[in-house]
Amino acid sequence: MTPTRPATATAAAVSDPAAADPAAADPAAADPASADPDSADPHSPERGSPVSASRCLHALPADPTPRRRFLELGSVALAAPLAACATDPSVRATRTGTPGSTTSTATGPITNWSAVDLSRAIQSRQVSCVEVMTAYLAQIDRLNPTYNAIVSLQPRESLLAQAAERDRELATARTSGKPVGWMHGFPQAPKDMTATAGIVTTQGSPILRNFVPKTDSVQVERIRKAGAILIGKTNTPEFGLGSHTYNTVFGTTVNAYDPTRSAGGSSGGTAVALALNLLPVADGSDYMGSLRNPGAWNNVFGLRPSSGRVPFGPNPEVYVQQLGYEGPMGRSVADLAMLLSVQAGYDARMPLSLTGDPAQFAQPLDKDVKGLRIGWLGDFEGYLPMEDGVMTTCTAALKHFETIGCTVEAARTDFSMERLWKSFLVIRWSVVAGGAGGLYADPKLRAQLKPEAIWEIENGLKQSATDLYKASADRTAWYLSMQQLFQRYDVLVLPTAQIFPFDAKLDWPKTVAGRTMDTYHRWMEVVIAGTMGGGPVLNVPAGFGPRGLPMGLQLIGRPQGELQLLQLGHAYEQASRFTARRSPALSA
């Protein structure tokens, strides 16, 4: 029952390996930078519009002290945060096989294949790594100049050479009988918040235009070990602070379904790259919906894992920052789950990371979900303002849970959502100020921070240890309140966003349904219930609104309940078929 701005730049490779020391992986998520959309040229670099690669490659200050101060202090929280055979760039192939076998059943253009089928096709040598790389680079050449999802694209010759090497490794492995990783030969572009050794990691900030880490983040280590080839990065707002992906380094990433609209954020580049077949599967990070909001707005899946499921670091501070995490995105739940099986698993450098065999996420997801109880939280009984069409789109999608045998009913909590919001702010302010305070303290670097970052830091500097302790206690109370809900329901559901994708020329929405937003990120308040709960949250597509723009649902599972959540999401995906409606750009 149903309950009572165009982009033009694909940034070139940065080849200054002497640039910097290792940086941390990935920050929080929230919303875009601030500027009056009526008074600024929406295509100017200052408004975050695309800029040429040559204009992006400005060095850090000659004095290394400010840079070192950021790397030692500022990244604490923000990182808690050919081959001759490849002559046809539009290479197509037809592969045969049976489900569950090691043979791919994919047909059509290589870039259309699921990541599961792509891995099978590569490992069975039905397609070469060089063919795969060639096909994806052609797709990037065709679409990225408009959508600006991938930045810091590495030199083609190097990427094709790496692909050829992967083909040789595969031949050797077959001869020796040794397996290769699931992502062997996959083109990958980690989010530009996570450290990539040898590839510039700007975190969307002009301060870090030329910062090249010497080491990888944990999750990048793991995808490299699984055989992936890093082709560049995916775009993000400055320091991940924004659910609208734009910055003054690379410009704006626009929506895969309407390039005049926002892609969401802060994993906007990731979501658009998936929706446009620029990557087979991709990573992101999430503090305030950054794996969920862009997934919803680009009709793909994104999972914010349970606290500690995917080790987040290495970072200078690994105990206090427990709201921002990395996780997988995919065009299907099966693809997403396979990437999670690569990302997850204990790492001794992160003492709060979870043990448990990540191979559990690589098993088939087909499971009878009949009888599962779905609690629909909706807008928290009118507490959250919602743009017209959001609630009707989302409630209409609930019928697909009934189709697969679940029961759906309205759920409510007595916990004050205003109290939850205030405690979220205090924790976020404190974490951002603790990490970026070094930048703010230097007037020259402070001048390069966007207004939202300064606002976060200044509020954080006002907080006391007692304020932070009380906010953490409030978060604990919310966690316990959610456990009471889970005594009645198996999964909680609510919209992924309060509005549909907005004009990409704006910085952030000032009103929602006639209600003024008092902060730059309050229009995404709907995501903090999941963030503060500490359990897994899966975005699944919910269909399209009145103007044809995508929306999503958040499925909140029990702490450490990723497998059940993925099984439910997979069943819902098969019933709803919303992802069959692809971006118009793919057929243009």
Q: Rounded mean pLDDT of 422-440?
A: 97
Stretch 497-509: mean pLDDT: 98
* Amino acid 57: pLDDT: 29
CA distance 20 to 390: 45
| pLDDT at residue 102, as a whole number | 62
Q: Would you give the DSSP letter of residue 7? A: -
- With a cut of 90, say whether residue 252 has pLDDT above it: yes
Which whole number is the average pLDDT over 189-212?
98
- pLDDT more than 90, % of the chain: 82
Instruction: Report CA-CA distances (Å) from 391 to 255, 293, 379, 408, 528.
Output: 21, 15, 8, 15, 18
CB hemisphere CA count around 472 (13 angstroms): 14
Tokens of 167: 């083909």
Window from 65-74, 202-211, 284-293 with minimum mean pLDDT: 65-74
Q: What is the 3-state secondary structure (H, E, C) of 24-65?
A: CCCCCCCCCCCCCCCCCCCCCHHHCCCCCHHHHCCCCCCCHH
pLDDT band for 356, please (50, 70, 90 cuts).
Answer: very high
Q: Residue holding tokens 């695309």?
A: 50
- Which is it for strands 150-151 and 233-234: parallel, antiparallel or unpaired? antiparallel
Q: Is 244's pLDDT higher than 90?
A: yes
Minimal CA–CA distance to 24: which of 191, 169, 245, 232? 191
375: DSSP letter: E
Which residues are 301's β-sheet partners? 330
Q: Provide the pLDDT confidence category of residue 367 given band limits of 50, 70 and 90.
A: very high
Comparing CA positions, the residue from 403, 412, 402 lying closest to residue 376 is: 412
Q: What is the mean pLDDT of the chain?
A: 87
What pLDDT is attached to residue 269?
Answer: 98
Q: Higher model confidence: residue 31 or residue 380? A: 380
Tell me the per-residue pLDDT of 292-316, one tens digit each, with 9 for 90 and over.
999 999 999 999 999 999 999 999 9
Residue with tokens 């039905």: 126
For range 41-57, the mean pLDDT: 34
Q: Dihedral through CA 580, CA 584, CA 587, CA 588, nearest 10?
A: 180
* pLDDT tens digits along 369-425: 999 999 999 999 999 999 999 999 999 999 999 999 999 999 999 999 999 999 999
Percent of the chain scoring above 70 in pLDDT: 82
Place of tokens 């790389």: 133
Distance CA 66, CA 60 (A): 9
pTM for the predicted model, two decimal places: 0.85
Q: What is the pLDDT of residue 60?
A: 38
Is the confidence at residue 14, as pLDDT, over 50?
A: no
Q: What is the pLDDT of residue 107?
A: 82
What is the pLDDT averaged over residues 47-53? 35
CA angle 570, 113, 185 (to 5 degrees): 110
Q: How far apart are CA 455 and CA 30, in angstroms?
A: 12
Contacts of 450 (CB under 8 A, 6+ apart): 33, 34, 238, 241
- Residue whose entry in the numeric block shows the structure tokens 């090691």: 102
- The verdict on whether omega for the bond into residue 266 sits within 30 degrees of 0, i.e. cis, is yes
Q: What phi, psi does 229 have (nearest 5°)?
A: -110, 120
Q: How far is CA 233 from CA 10, 71, 202, 349, in A?
A: 10, 20, 10, 24
Of 69, 64, 62, 190, the C-alpha closest to 435 is 69
- pLDDT for 349 beyond 70: yes
CB atoms within 10 A of CB 459: 17
Element (H, E) at 544: strand 537-544
106 — pLDDT class (breaks 50, 70, 90): confident
Q: What is the 3-state secondary structure (H, E, C) of 435-487?
A: HHHHHHHCHHHHCCCCHHHHHHHHHHHCCCHHHHHHHHHHHHHHHHHHHHHHH
Q: What is the DSSP string of 263-296?
A: --SSSHHHHHHHHTTSSSSEEEEESSSTTTHHHH
Please name every residue paired with 227 in a beta bridge, in sequence order, or none if there are none. none
Contact between 156 and 197 (Cβ < 8 Å): no
Residue 97 has pLDDT above 60, yes or no: no
Task: Give me the pLDDT at residue 79, please.
Answer: 38
Please state whether beta strands 251-252 and 511-512 pair in parallel, antiparallel, or not at all (unpaired): unpaired
